[in-house]
């Protein structure tokens, strides 16, 4: 691990807004705020909104700035990324923000049933070959339901046509109530101050002419969940390249293919 990352990890240990509990630590310790976020951290009863795979925390911070009437928690396993959002939150003096460094599969270790009101999933890996690892699969929705308030809301914002099509089909397959849905957020006129918050990666996709997709739906407390058929959903070619190559502009990709 580079010295810069080590420095960030060490600095985050001093941030009161950051909780670093990767899987190994959770095997040794019980997370102390589970079921107590309102009373012992935020000191209010405002709704808790969770961003999964928050990266650098741009969305978490943007939401917290726009809606001080809610509490926001960003979660990611990449500590060096969380450092950016946590530091920005401190600089802005935001008292309605927290960050968790841990695996998303460990959600139940951090939140009690019904403790979370909404979940945002922003630009996740579409996991085209691994349904169980897809953050909008039935497996993960079942996990989210264990911590969401009854009828809690899930928002997916993605550049991936595959992930959007899969999620839209899953929502329909399970008869989940849709709040809003669009395959072209900015072209549809549906964008608002919340959905218009742009992460670093979203700005990259927009600069390459890609449309941003959004689907928001509620998750009933007891409805059975199942993944839909997906063999006929077209895969995203540009996601098949290694991460370093996907940073190239389209003309550079065409050279690689020639």
Catalytic positions, written as ranges: 125
- On the 0-12 / 13-18 / 19+ scale of CB atoms within 10 A, 4 is exposed
Q: In the chain, where do the E strands start and end?
A: 18-20, 48-52, 71-76, 97-101, 116-122, 148-158, 178-182, 213-219
Closest to 51 in 3D by CA, of 72, 21, 26, 27: 72
CA distance 38 to 235: 42
Q: 12: Cβ–Cβ under 8 A, 6 or more apart, which residues? A: 18, 20, 79, 82, 83, 86, 101
Q: Which long-range contacts (CB under 8 A, 24 or more apart) does 42-45 make?
A: 42/71, 42/95, 42/96, 42/98, 44/71
How long, in residues, is the chain?
258
Beta strands at 116-122 and 48-52: parallel, antiparallel or unpaired: parallel
DSSP state of 83: H
CA distance 237 to 210: 13
């Amino acid at each position: 691990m580079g010295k810069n990352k080590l420095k960030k990890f060490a600095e985050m240990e001093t941030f009161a807004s950051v909780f670093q509990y990767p899987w190994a630590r959770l095997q040794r310790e019980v997370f102390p705020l589970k079921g107590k976020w309102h009373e012992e951290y935020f000191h209010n009863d405002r709704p808790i909104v969770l961003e999964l795979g928050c990266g650098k925390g741009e969305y978490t911070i943007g939401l917290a700035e726009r809606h001080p009437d809610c509490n926001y928690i960003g979660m990611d396993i990449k500590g060096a990324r969380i450092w950016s959002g946590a530091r920005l939150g401190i600089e802005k003096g935001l008292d309605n923000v927290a960050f968790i460094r841990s695996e998303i599969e460990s959600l139940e270790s951090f939140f009690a049933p019904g403790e979370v009101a909404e979940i945002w999933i922003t630009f996740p890996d579409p996991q085209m070959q691994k349904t169980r690892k897809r953050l909008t699969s039935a497996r993960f929705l079942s996990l989210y339901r264990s911590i969401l308030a009854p009828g809690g809301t899930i928002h997916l914002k993605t550049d991936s046509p595959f992930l959007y099509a899969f999620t839209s089909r899953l929502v329909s397959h399970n008869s989940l109530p849709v709040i809003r849905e669009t395959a072209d957020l900015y072209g549809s006129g549906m964008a608002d101050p919340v959905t218009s918050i742009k992460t670093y990666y979203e700005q990259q996709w927009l600069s390459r002419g890609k449309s941003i997709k959004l689907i928001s739906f509620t998750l009933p407390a007891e409805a059975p969940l199942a993944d839909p058929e997906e063999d006929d959903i077209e895969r995203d070619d540009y996601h098949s390249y290694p991460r370093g190559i996907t940073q190239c502009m389209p003309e550079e990709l065409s050279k690689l293919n020639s």
